[in-house]
């Protein structure tokens, strides 16, 4: 076994040991956990969505209000990928972890719903999701299922059946506030956890990027699994700059050996 491999195995064991001793676990996930499922992230060089589009022009609240067709045109290929995507090993590992540990909360910046598809039951979607739509005029909220086929096939903008105004997907756009109830739960979870694991997030988007700091300031351990460096690496107990869909399942597998 090479020195590099041995060092990686030891860090996986160390991470598993911390996890086994923890009672309230928060998992903060970002776009990097879903890229192995074929969903592009936002900031990777060459492949990130913001390398191809200006977010203020296509994914802001102002664009949606004044040029909704531009927003729906941008969303179309991403929505196609999200709806076809299946959970990868990292998503499945977190669902397994919730079976072994009683208090595990997933806080996700993703809108793809892959945690729920994998079987996770306690998921806080701080940036919303595509499962529902809300009317911009009468605020009626409806499931998106009945509108998706027409939108994906014809790029038809969804309209409210009651007042015929545009239906907005319940995702958080730039310039829009996070959903208050979910955000409060995420803050409380971060404050009271004794371990936070950051999985696939570069921690560049506020206010979510501040949650790990809230956790460690209240005495929690911190494990980071992300390809690129984050601002809080120096404060973490263990850092993996590796593939999250490889490292996370290995850590959970190590934990599960004592549970089975």
> Catalytic one among 91, 115, 127, 221?
127
Quickly state the pLDDT bin for 193 (edges 50, 70, 90): very high
pLDDT value, residue 49: 45
Instruction: Give me the helices (H) in 139-226, please.
Output: 145-154, 180-192, 211-217
Quickly state the pLDDT bin for 26 (edges 50, 70, 90): very high
Q: What is the mean pLDDT of residues 28-43?
A: 88
Cα 118 to Cα 64, 92, 150: the distances in Å are 31, 5, 27
Query: Looking at the predicted structure, is the pLDDT value of residue 46 above 80?
Result: no
Q: Is the dihedral of CA 193, 105, 87, 68 positive or negative?
A: negative
Cα 28 to Cα 77, 165, 233, 252: the distances in Å are 26, 35, 14, 15
Cα 68 to Cα 72, 94, 168, 258: the distances in Å are 6, 36, 9, 52
Query: Looking at the predicted structure, is the pLDDT value of residue 47 above 50?
Result: no
Q: How far apart are CA 113 and CA 234, in angstroms?
A: 31
pLDDT value, residue 59: 75
pLDDT value, residue 22: 95
**Contact assessment for residue 13 and residue 254, using Cβ atoms and an 8 Å cutoff:** yes
Per-residue model confidence as pLDDT tens digits over 127-172 = 999 999 999 999 999 999 989 889 999 999 999 999 999 999 999 9
Cα 96 to Cα 30, 199, 255: the distances in Å are 19, 15, 10
Angle between helices 68-84 and 145-154 (to 10 degrees): 110
What backbone phi and psi angles, to 5 degrees, belong to 56? -70, -20
Per-residue model confidence as pLDDT tens digits over 229-253 = 999 999 999 999 999 999 999 999 9
Does the active-site annotation cover 127? Answer: yes
- For the chain, domains (ranges, CATH) are 1-39+87-127+177-260 (3.40.50.1220), 40-84+132-171 (3.30.1600.10)
Quickly state the pLDDT bin for 48 (edges 50, 70, 90): very low
Per-residue model confidence as pLDDT tens digits over 72-128 = 998 998 899 999 999 999 999 999 999 887 799 999 999 999 999 999 999 999 999
Q: What is the mean pLDDT of residues 53-61?
A: 65
Quickly state the pLDDT bin for 54 (edges 50, 70, 90): low
């Amino acid at each position: 076994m090479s020195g590099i491999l041995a060092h990686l195995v030891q860090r996986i064991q160390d991470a598993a040991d911390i996890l086994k001793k923890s009672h309230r676990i928060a998992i903060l996930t970002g776009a990097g956990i879903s890229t192995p499922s074929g969903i592009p992230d936002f900031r990777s060089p060459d492949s990130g969505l913001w390398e191809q589009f200006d977010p203020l022009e296509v994914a802001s609240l102002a664009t949606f209000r004044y040029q909704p067709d531009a927003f729906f045109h941008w969303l179309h290929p991403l929505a196609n990928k999200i709806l076809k995507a299946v959970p990868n090993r990292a998503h499945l590992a977190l669902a397994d972890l919730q079976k072994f540990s009683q208090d595990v909360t997933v806080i996700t910046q993703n809108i793809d719903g892959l945690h729920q598809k994998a079987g996770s039951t306690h998921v806080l979607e701080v940036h919303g999701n595509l499962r529902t739509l809300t009317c911009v005029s009468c605020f009626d909220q409806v499931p998106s299922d009945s509108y998706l086929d027409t939108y994906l096939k014809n790029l038809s903008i969804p309209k409210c059946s009651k007042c015929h105004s545009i239906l907005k997907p319940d995702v958080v756009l730039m310039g829009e506030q996070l959903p208050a109830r979910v955000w409060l739960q995420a803050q409380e979870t971060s404050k009271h956890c004794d371990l936070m694991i950051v999985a696939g997030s570069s921690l560049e988007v506020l206010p979510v990027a501040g949650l790990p700091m809230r956790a460690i300031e209240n005495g929690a351990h911190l494990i980071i699994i992300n390809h690129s460096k984050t601002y809080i690496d120096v404060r973490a107990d263990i850092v993996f700059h590796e593939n999250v869909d490889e490292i996370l399942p290995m850590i959970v597998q190590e934990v599960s050996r004592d549970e089975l």
